[in-house]
Amino acid sequence: MGREEQLRRLEERIRNCKKCPLGELRTNAVPGAGNYSSKIMFVGEAPGYWEDQKGLPFVGRAGRILDELLESIGLDREDVYITNIVKCRPPNNRDPTEEEIRTCSPYLDLQIDIIRPRVIIPLGRHSMAYILKKFGFDVEPISRIHGKMFEARTLFGRIIIMPMYHPAVALYRPAMKEELEKDFRKIRELIDGIS
């Protein structure tokens, strides 16, 4: 079975999942979207209101910032794959719980195994903590390690992990947009190096 078929089947499983209470509360599960053959995977934390309505990741205000950041380095959504650790919206956009992450993260693990990205960009501290632990790294505050590169070895080769602030940070602290832009320029350098 090819990559596309594997991912389509996995997305269908996610849309029908009821493994945790979020499955009963959601409008739509949000498996992920983008290029199934991308070298770059962005991993957010959980869907928000608009993502829950549309069944797509990063389509609200934070998504518009993500689009601008991608555009600033010559990319768009069709060039990357975007997903979250938790695939259903937590009530009132609260942070996902450890239990929700534990229940839902096997879906993300499968997405990584099927897509085999060369670069994983965790967006936000929950995403960062999960991805770094998964690949055997110590977790530090995101303020200390955003924009830094961690090299992991996998069965399918080397992966670079580069944690970043969640784009929503620029909505509440506009000065942080500059920090995000600086980190995104590093993605451009990375892509140019692995192309």
Q: Which domain holds residue 112?
A: 3-194
pLDDT for residue 195: 57
Residues in the chain predicted with pLDDT less than 50, given as ranges, are: none
Paired sense of beta strands 157-161 and 150-154, if any: antiparallel
- Contact of 130 with 98, CB cutoff 8 Å: no
List the one residue out of 194, 6, 1 whose CA is nearest residue 112: 6
CATH of residue 34: 3.40.470.10
The structural domain count of the chain equals 1
State pTM to two decimals.
0.95
Amino acid at 48: G
Q: Tokens 């938790």 identify what position?
A: 86
Instruction: Decide if 128 contacts 54 (C-beta within 8 A).
Output: no
Cβ-based neighbours of 3, under 8 Å, separated by 6 or more? 36, 37, 114, 115
Task: Count other C-beta atoms under 10 Å from residue 63's C-beta.
Answer: 21
Q: Maximum distance among all alpha carbons in the chain?
A: 46
Task: List the alpha helices (DSSP H) in the chain.
Answer: 3-15, 22-25, 49-54, 61-72, 98-115, 125-134, 142-145, 169-172, 176-194
Q: Pairing between strand 150-154 and 81-84? A: unpaired
Instruction: For 120-148, write each residue's pLDDT tens digit.
Output: 999 999 999 999 999 999 999 999 999 99
